[in-house]
Chains A and B, each alone.
Chain A
Amino acid sequence: MATLSASRAGTDHYLGAIERAERDRAHEPAWLRDVRRRAADAFGRMGVPTTRDEEWRATNVAPIADTPFEPAPLATVSPDEASRFLVPGLAGPVLVFVNGRYAAELSAPGAPAAGLTVSTIGDAVERDPEFLAPWLARHSDSSVHPFAALNTALFEDGALVTVTDNTVADLPVQLVFLSTVTPSPAISAPRALVVLGRNSQAKLVETFGSLGPARGFTTAVTEVVVGDGSVVEHCRLQCESDSAFHVGHTAFHLGRSSRSSSHAFAFGGRISRHDAVAVLGDEGADCTLNGLYLAGGDQLIDNHTDIDHATPHGTSHELYKGILGGRARGVFNGRIRVRPDAQKTDAKQTNKALLLSDEAQVNTKPQLEIFANDVRCTHGATVGQLNQDALFYLRARGIGLDDARSLLVRAFAADVTSRVAIEPVRAELDRLLAARLPALLGEEAPR
């Protein structure tokens, strides 16, 4: 059982790192140390998953178990380097983290505006730890998500965004998590906690990037608590290096008649996994989880979504699309749970993959667990290649083969990007796609 022992050794390696990190946690309140302890225990129990774990069946993270990633060293990043990861034209507070640590010199949290506070978890631990207690690590479930548990046990700092009741925060808050190239393989554990009170609004843009060809491992957790009647718009841009390992976990908890709209974009990573988890915790909540991923070469990009309709009259909408070239692999697993009480639930899930090469492949699985009888749940999945009739139509009008393919692929992607409400993010996505598509299309150009 080579795989099992490799995984065990990997798990033990990370438990050792957690134990060493605990020495620096004496200043933390008892509840937080307890949360971390329980997360460490859960991680120790679950370990680095193998493909025998149902949730990881299609995604082999053996390289994460086999590589002795050590907590990333302190590093400095120049403002010029960091600015490449800011979304141009996006006014608003900016927090930058380098290898999981707050980089004050690169950040612009802004003066605390009425109702909106943008600061760090580390700062709150120092000044007002009891504020964090009801929220931090309460919605990222360490008992079933091994990497969320690893992050909870390891994270050094993180972003803290709070919006008080009846506050409309117009300007998007931008959180940038950067990884540097390190002499030996390094792990970083970026974290974010976003808490919206009642009847509030906020916009949030998270970017995960690598400086150079970083081969590090990022295990990220973001928790978003949406209070009764509040509305949040969230974008997640994962554009790390193609040799990086990225496991992200985003947990939404929705209050009564609240609304969350989230768009997750995954472009980078040798292996990239994102779990988007939403709990509709009170009646009438509305949840959107959309995503777009682009994978070429030997990349593997995995998206797991898990929407828990725990209460009646909830609606959820999911649209995930993937574009795969080279020998890339995509994985989509969309779980929708409808609890016995959650009558009048309306859930819709759509998943589409576009294969640009013969060797690219995708595993897609809807997972509907419905325990209420008066509900509407629909799901659909398609996997296909570029539409040959559309391609010929464009060429018959004089548009060259390469341009025609690019036009059709961008149209496929625009189905997701056009739904992003924050205009500068849409423009940035167009730029990122324009930069990445030629290589993806060039990997297999039938002439």
Chain B
Amino acid sequence: MNGVNVAMLEIKGLHASVGGKEILKGIDLAVGAGEVHAVMGPNGSGKSTLAGVLAGRSEYEVTAGSVTYRGRDLLDLDPEERAREGLFLAFQYPVEIPGVNNAYFLKAALNAARKHRGEPEIDAVGFMALIRGKMALLDMDQALMNRPVNDGFSGGEKKRNEIFQMAVLEPALAILDETDSGLDIDALKIVANGVNALRSPDRSAIVVTHYQRLLDYIVPDFVHVLSDGRIVRSGGKDLALELEDKGYGWLEAEAQPA
């Protein structure tokens, strides 16, 4: 590999299990800088497990394979180190944290990354200026900033808050775990806007989704289909449309080992 076309993420032969049950059965995936990859597949195919393993969820045990992120062994890093290195997981189910103020939390997260990069911590004034623009981008209600993290948020507000956090933290690699689920079309467009605003030659994204719908607004460079813990088909954005027409059944049938 030459120094110009560095891979953002390289997953090789990844196996992972939860509670002794193997979910990922050998994933190979390379994501280049600037690329957006969609990972699709039916329920139970391992999409969320893949997202969780990449973010460092401790209940997933990696039994084989490797993950290289910007030249480093990702699996060797704690979740917080991954985040500070620019990896971001937008949660499928954002966690409610009563008693922890949303703005305080986000400022702490931002400053943890800045400190890691050797940058000075941002002060309250600078932080407010920064988030004001991002809130407009996500059409976020200012009042949500002064509430506890996700506490009492509607489903749509939670998902929007995830993308808002992403917009503030500006990750190098964003992993969106079914961010579209439960969103109406207006919210979906707003969320897609937030993701698209981050697209640049040095940022990448993995968009995990069950439905093609989101990909009308976040147009991927590549589409991968996950089935029973393996990538059974990869292609361009047209593959998503094909899945929309035919469903997943034909791929699952194809994927059965001979």
- The interface of chain A, by Cβ under 8 A from chain B, is 387, 389-390, 392-401, 403-404, 407-408, 410-412, 414-415
Inter-chain contact B99/A398, CB cutoff 8 Å: no
In the complex formed, the residue of A with least CB distance to B58 is A392
With A392-B58, A393-B95, A403-B108 as known contacts, state yes or no: A398 contacts B113, CB within 8 Å.
yes
When C-beta atoms are compared, the residue in chain B nearest to A397 turns out to be B109
Q: Is B13 an interface residue (CB 8 A)?
A: no
Can you name the residue of chain B whose Cβ is closest to the Cβ of A403?
B108
Whether the Cβ atoms of A397 and B100 lie closer than 8 Å is: no
In the assembly, what is the distance between CA of A403 and CA of B108, in Å? 10
* Interface residues of chain A: helix, strand, loop or mixed (majority): helix
Pairwise interchain contact A396-B79, C-beta atoms closer than 8 A: yes
Residues 80-104 of B contacting A (Cβ, < 8 Å): 80, 82-84, 89, 91, 94-100
Q: How many contacts between A and B, using CB within 8 angstroms? A: 76
Q: How far is the CA of A359 from the CA of B82 in the complex (A)?
A: 32
What is the CB-to-nearest-CB distance from A272 to chain B, in angstroms, rounded to a whole number? 25
**CB neighbours of B108 from chain A (8 A):** 399, 403, 407
| Chain B residues closer than 8 Å to A397, beta-carbon distance | 80, 83, 105-106, 109, 112, 165, 169
Asked, given contacts A408-B97, A408-B100, whether A393 binds B78 with beta carbons under 8 Å apart, the answer is: no
Which residues of chain A are within 8 angstroms of B56 by Cβ–Cβ distance? Answer: 395-396
Partner of A393 from the list B58, B84, B97, B112 (CB cut-off 8 Å) is B97
Measured in the bound complex, the distance between the Cα atoms of B106 and A389 in whole Å is 17
A390 to B96 alpha-carbon distance, docked (Å): 7
Set of chain A residues within 8 Å of B94, measured between Cβ atoms: 393
CB-defined contacts of B80 to chain A, threshold 8 Å: 395-401, 404
**B175, chain A: closest CB distance, angstroms:** 10
Closest to B112 in A: A398
Q: Which residues of B come within 8 Å of A, CB atoms?
A: 55-58, 78-80, 82-84, 89, 91, 94-100, 105-106, 108-109, 112-113, 116, 148-149, 165, 169
Report B-chain residues with C-beta under 8 Å of the C-beta of A390: 95-97
Leading 5 A-B pairs by shortest Cβ distance: A411-B99, A398-B83, A397-B109, A398-B112, A395-B79
Question: What are 17 A-B contacts defined by CB distance under 8 Å?
Answer: A387-B95, A387-B97, A389-B95, A392-B57, A392-B58, A393-B91, A393-B94, A393-B95, A394-B109, A395-B56, A395-B79, A397-B80, A397-B112, A401-B80, A411-B148, A412-B99, A414-B99
- Taking CB atoms, residues of chain A closer than 8 Å to B79 are 392, 395-396
A420 → chain B, closest Cβ, in Å? 15
Given contacts A392-B79, A393-B95, A401-B80, contact A407 B112 (CB under 8 A): no
Contacts of B78 in A (CB 8 A): 395, 401
> For the complex, what is the distance from the CA of A412 to the CA of B106, rounded to whole Å?
19
**A contact residues around B97 at 8 Å (CB):** 387, 390, 393-394, 408, 411
From B84, B95, B100, B109, contact of A411 by CB (8 A):
B100
Contact indicator B99/A415 (Cβ below 8 Å): yes
Shortest distance from the beta carbon of A423 to any chain B beta carbon, whole Å: 17
Q: In the complex, A412 Cα to B98 Cα: how many Å?
A: 8
| Smallest CB gap from B97: residue in A | A390
Q: Shortest Cβ distance from B60 into chain A, in angstroms?
A: 11
Question: Separation in Å of the A434 CB from the closest CB of chain B?
Answer: 15
The smallest beta-carbon distance between B133 and chain A, in angstroms, is: 20
In the complex, A404 Cα to B105 Cα: how many Å? 10
Q: Is the CB of A396 within 8 A of B89?
A: yes
Can you add 19 more A-B contacts, CB < 8 Å, to A396-B83, A411-B98?
A390-B95, A392-B57, A393-B94, A393-B97, A394-B100, A396-B79, A396-B91, A397-B80, A398-B80, A398-B84, A399-B80, A399-B109, A400-B80, A403-B112, A407-B105, A411-B100, A412-B99, A414-B99, A415-B98
Residues from chain A with Cβ under 8 Å of B116 in the complex: 398
Give the residue of B96, B100, B113 whose beta carbon is less than 8 angstroms from that of A407. Answer: B100
B157 to chain A, nearest CB (A): 16
A401 to B112, CA, bound (A): 12
Roughly how many angstroms separate A387 CA and B84 CA in the complex, as a whole number? 22
Assembled-state Cα–Cα distance A408/B101 (Å): 11
A404 neighbours in B (Cβ, 8 Å) = 80
Report whether B112 and A399 are in contact in the complex, using a CB–CB cutoff of 8 Å.
yes
Q: How far is it, in angstroms, between the C-alpha of A390 and the C-alpha of B148 when the chains are bound?
A: 12
A397–B57 CA distance with the chains assembled, in angstroms: 13
B145 to chain A: closest CB distance in Å?
A: 15
Contact A400 B112 (CB under 8 A): yes
Name the residue in A395, A401, A414 with the highest tally of chain B Cβ atoms < 10 Å from its Cβ: A395
Which residues of B are found within 8 Å of A401, using beta-carbon distances?
78, 80
Q: How far is the CA of A412 from the CA of B108 in the complex (A)?
A: 18
Name the A residues within 8 Å of B109 (CB-CB): 394, 397-399
Cα(A389)–Cα(B89), bound, Å: 14
Report the separation of the CA atoms of residues A407 and B89 in the bound assembly, to the nearest whole angstrom. 20
Give the residue among B80, B95, B96, B116 with the most A Cβ atoms within 10 A. Answer: B80
Measured between beta carbons, the chain A residues less than 8 angstroms from B95 are: 387, 389-390, 392-393
Closest residue of chain B to A407 (Cβ to Cβ) is B100
Please, which residues of chain B bring their CB within 8 A of the CB of A393? 91, 94-95, 97, 149
What residues of B have a CB within 8 angstroms of the CB of A407 in the complex?
100, 105, 108
